[in-house]
């Protein structure tokens, strides 16, 4: 009996030793040493005791030195003259980036007429959104203030085509003497569960004619599952990828010998999170501007945002993140066009910005010198306006006289 007990005890002791030897241990949290931080940096941040640091102070000390005030500024918005001035009963919205060709500025935009009916009525004939039943039009200007509407650039497709209901939210790209318009498309009927796609047209002149591709260049992911048949976009059995419902706001940027198609994704069963609507951005990449475009395996490439606003900056891509998500109101940079990090807060940036990329001198806020945006007069009608941005480097009280200070680098 004693022998049996001894054997059992030996087994238990051995199992205990084996367990203690093989059980993985949790990684220890890294304890960072901040005693090496320069006095100049501590003084700039107002930190006097590195032995007692709050979480906020540690984050500030960890900010990269590349964070400067070159992105901080303020915006104003003004009405335009000519054909892009507000017109009752007409929707003009979603201005593209500007082209400047032979002394003229060009802008492309969504245009429709009539009020918005919404869902629940005759979805075959009603207008469910302001961007429903749109065509893409363009206008020109010599000074950026007074515009002449030139006519349609891309019309809706014939009945039964993937773009027969609406073509809208365009973006323009010039590459090697050719002009490429990418845009959102909707096929009838338009209900709340309708999935939209991205189309593309190209021309050898900014005035067209633009030749449409027969098939879309981008579609939503096909891995979400709706729950039931009721037209309720929040009822799902499975949400799927971040872009399982919609692909919106396309913009193509030539980058590193390829073509990067940035877009906004909306997920089936979209939620409201602590940052607002559950909106994220993605990218699809092609060797040719006409495609095929392949979605990056690293999608989504943002956790926030709404309309796509991207541009080349130095050796990478900048992105303005607005409206939705925990990182809204920031500009972000990715040297590889995919891995974006916050560079600065951008308060008050206009929505749906059409950039004037001629101003892109890689000096931060200069890209926002002026461009176009749109304004909601009401839910039914919107019109295009001009914005201006001005870098802000200091602040003072009314009538305060201050010596000119050197620019802060933190």
408 vs 31: which has the higher pLDDT: 31
11, pLDDT greater than 60: no
CATH code, 69-391:
2.115.10.20
Domain spans, the chain: 69-391
| Biggest CA-to-CA distance, the chain | 105
What is the SS3 string spanning 318-354?
EEEECCCCCCCCEEEEECCCCCCEEEEECCCCCCCCE
Report, as an integer, the average pLDDT of 127-152. 97
95, pLDDT greater than 50: yes
Q: Given this model, what pLDDT does residue 410 score? A: 46
The string of pLDDT tens digits covering residues 314-365 is 999 999 999 999 999 999 999 999 999 999 899 899 989 999 999 998 889 9
Radius of gyration of the chain (CA): 27
Q: How many CB atoms lie within 10 A of CB 13?
A: 10
Residue 195 — pLDDT band, cuts 50, 70, 90?
Answer: very high
What is the SS3 string spanning 104-163?
EEEEEEEEEECCCCCCCCCCCCCCCCCCCCCEEEEEEECCCCEEEEEEEEECCCCCCCCC
C-alpha distances (whole Å) from 408 to each of 14, 44, 69, 336, 362 are: 64, 9, 7, 28, 18
Q: Are 258 and 287 in contact (CB under 8 A)?
A: yes
**228/395 Cα distance (integer angstroms):** 56
Adjacent-strand bridge partners of 211: 202
B/e letters for 40-56, b = 16+ CB within 10 Å, e = fewer, are eebeeeebeeeeeeeee
Report, as an integer, the average pLDDT of 80-102. 98
Report, as an integer, the average pLDDT of 10-37. 58
**307/328 Cα distance (integer angstroms):** 11
The string of pLDDT tens digits covering residues 281-326 is 999 999 999 999 999 999 999 999 999 999 999 999 999 999 999 9
- Please provide the average confidence, as pLDDT, over all residues in the chain: 90
Consecutive H or E run containing 40: helix 39-45
């Amino acid at each position: 009996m004693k022998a049996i007990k001894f054997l059992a005890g030996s087994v238990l002791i051995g199992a205990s030793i084996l367990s203690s030897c093989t059980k993985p241990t949790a990684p220890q949290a890294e304890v960072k040493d901040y005693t090496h931080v320069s006095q100049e940096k501590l003084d700039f941040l107002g930190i006097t005791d590195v032995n007692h640091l709050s979480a906020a102070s540690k984050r500030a000390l960890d900010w990269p030195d590349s964070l400067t005030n070159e992105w901080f500024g303020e915006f104003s918005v003004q009405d335009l003259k000519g054909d892009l001035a507000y017109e009752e009963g007409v929707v003009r919205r979603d201005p593209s980036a500007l082209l400047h060709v032979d002394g003229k500025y060009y802008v492309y935009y969504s245009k429709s007429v009539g009020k918005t009916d919404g869902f629940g009525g005759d979805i075959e004939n009603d207008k469910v959104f302001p961007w429903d039943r749109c065509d893409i039009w363009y206008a020109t200007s010599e000074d950026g203030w007074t515009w002449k509407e030139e006519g349609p650039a891309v019309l809706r497709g014939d009945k039964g085509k993937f773009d027969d209901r609406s073509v809208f939210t365009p973006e323009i790209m010039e590459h090697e003497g050719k002009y490429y318009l990418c845009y959102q498309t909707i096929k009838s009927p338009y209900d709340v569960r309708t999935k939209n796609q991205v189309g593309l047209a190209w021309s050898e002149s900014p005035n067209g004619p633009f030749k449409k591709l027969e098939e879309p260049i981008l579609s939503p992911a096909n891995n979400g599952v709706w729950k039931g048949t009721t037209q309720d976009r929040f009822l799902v059995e499975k949400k799927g990828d971040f872009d399982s419902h919609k692909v919106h706001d396309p913009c193509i940027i030539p980058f590193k010998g390829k073509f990067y198609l940035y877009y906004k994704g909306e997920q089936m069963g979209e939620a409201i999170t602590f940052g607002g609507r559950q909106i994220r951005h993605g990218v699809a990449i092609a060797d040719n501007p006409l495609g095929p475009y392949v979605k990056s395996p690293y999608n989504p490439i943002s956790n926030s945002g709404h309309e796509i606003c991207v541009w080349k900056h130095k050796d990478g891509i900048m992105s303005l993140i607005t409206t939705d998500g925990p990182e809204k109101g920031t500009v972000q940079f990715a040297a590889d066009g995919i891995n974006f990090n916050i560079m600065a807060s951008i308060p008050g940036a206009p929505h749906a910005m059409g950039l004037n990329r001629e101003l892109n001198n890689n000096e931060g806020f200069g890209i926002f010198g002026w461009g176009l945006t749109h304004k909601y007069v009401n839910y039914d009608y919107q019109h295009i306006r001009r914005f201006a941005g001005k870098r802000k480097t200091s602040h003072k009280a009314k009538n305060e006289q201050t010596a000119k200070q050197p620019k802060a680098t933190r």
